[in-house]
């Protein structure tokens, strides 16, 4: 009897491990996709609003295409999730708002500042998110990651002091971007914890489709839809390709980002979004010719080094070095 129970327990454990493999693979693919897309999304958005200078319209186009593609996949049976009812739509209003605000602020900031400056404000969100993660969601922060968060903040502030592209209006939008990103990370994670029964595709669809009416009204009021549409269809072929690429990447980052939010803590997801900035900086300097002072570049490296300290790999490296140092001291003491 005991043997049968043991065999049953082993079979159940094996089944759980088998189920965990595709789950881990899915999370890994989503993480890699998010890092790759996030590292270049700022560059592509910067180029998109340069060829089509209507940020609300461009953002709305990205959301519309994402919602349309996801719904099309649902209709042809590639994915499955229930049609949203009124109760679910009402529950998702806050998520849509928290998701939309930093996107709009980011687009506005990119029109006035270089990519590196916007990246620093993005990087500095981790301290605010970590504090909220601890106070509101109960996630404790260890000493080395905390040092990393403060290092990020110091590097970001130093960067701002030497920023050659300083623009007051741009910095106001960047501060708004920082604040809305902190709210975004904390609020959406709290809702996702309560919405485990919803699939990644359903969350992505709702976030996109509920944003479209809001952005349509914003674009109509601030930019004028006829002007936007006329500008879109009068663009050159390369400009059209840039905007189309931004829509494809918008879909990718929406789905991959939603999946990563489900897997990581609020702070972990925020740091994940900051660990690809060297690629963004290199692309910005190469493709867009952004000018950065040597002091700002050093400060940016310091901030990104803080992001490494926060990461599990950075913490493991520091602990390993400290352990090696302690072992050497103990060895030296033994020889005395």
Cα 227 to Cα 53: distance, rounded to the nearest angstrom: 11
Cα 315 to Cα 308: distance, rounded to the nearest angstrom: 8
Q: pLDDT tens digits for the chain (336 residues)? A: 444 555 444 433 444 443 444 555 567 788 888 888 887 887 888 889 889 999 889 999 999 999 999 999 999 988 988 888 888 888 888 888 888 888 888 878 888 887 767 877 877 787 788 888 888 777 777 778 778 878 877 877 777 666 656 678 888 998 999 999 899 888 888 888 888 788 889 999 998 999 899 889 988 988 898 899 899 999 899 999 999 999 999 999 999 988 888 888 777 777 777 666 656 666 666 665 555 667 777 877 787 777 777 666 666 777 777 665 555 545 545 555
- pTM score of the predicted model: 0.70
Could you give phi then psi for residue 36, rounded to 5 degrees? -65, -45
Q: What are 104's two structure tokens?
A: 């709009």
Q: Which residue has the tokens 């109509």?
A: 220
Cα 159 to Cα 163: distance, rounded to the nearest angstrom: 6
Could you give phi then psi for residue 75, rounded to 5 degrees? -70, -35
- Which long-range contacts link 231-238 to residues 24+ away (Cβ below 8 Å)? 231/52, 231/53, 231/54, 232/52, 232/57, 232/61, 235/51, 235/52, 236/51, 238/51
């Amino acid at each position: 009897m005991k043997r049968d129970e043991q065999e049953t327990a082993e079979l159940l454990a094996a089944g759980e491990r088998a189920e965990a493999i595709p789950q881990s693979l899915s999370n890994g693919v989503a993480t890699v996709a998010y890092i790759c897309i996030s590292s270049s999304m700022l560059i592509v958005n910067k180029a998109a609003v340069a060829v089509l200078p209507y940020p609300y319209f461009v953002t709305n186009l990205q959301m519309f295409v994402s919602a349309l593609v996801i719904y099309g996949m649902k209709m042809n049976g590639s994915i499955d999730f229930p049609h949203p009812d009124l109760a679910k739509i009402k529950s998702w209003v806050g998520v849509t708002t928290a998701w939309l605000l930093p996107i709009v602020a980011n687009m506005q900031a990119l029109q006035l500042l270089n990519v590196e400056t916007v990246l620093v404000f993005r990087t500095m969100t981790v301290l605010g998110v970590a504090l909220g993660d601890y106070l509101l969601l109960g996630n404790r922060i260890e000493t080395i990651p905390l040092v990393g968060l403060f290092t990020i903040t110091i590097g970001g502030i130093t960067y701002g002091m030497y920023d050659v592209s300083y623009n007051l209006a741009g910095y106001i939008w960047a501060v708004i971007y920082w604040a809305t990103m902190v709210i975004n990370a904390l609020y959406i994670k709290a809702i996702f914890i309560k919405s485990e029964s919803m699939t990644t595709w359903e969350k992505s669809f709702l976030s996109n489709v509920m944003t479209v009416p809001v952005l349509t009204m914003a674009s109509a009021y601030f930019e004028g839809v006829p002007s936007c549409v006329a500008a879109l269809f009068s663009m050159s072929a390369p400009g059209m390709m840039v905007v189309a690429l931004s829509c494809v990447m918008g879909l990718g980052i929406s789905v991959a980002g939603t999946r990563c939010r489900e897997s990581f803590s609020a702070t972990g997801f925020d740091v994940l979004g900051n660990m690809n900035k060297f690629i963004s900086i290199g692309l910005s300097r190469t493709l867009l010719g952004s000018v950065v002072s040597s002091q700002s570049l050093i400060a940016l490296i310091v901030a990104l080094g803080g992001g490494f300290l926060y990461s599990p790999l950075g913490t493991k490296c520091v602990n390993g070095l400290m352990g090696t140092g302690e072992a050497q001291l103990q060895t030296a003491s033994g020889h005395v």
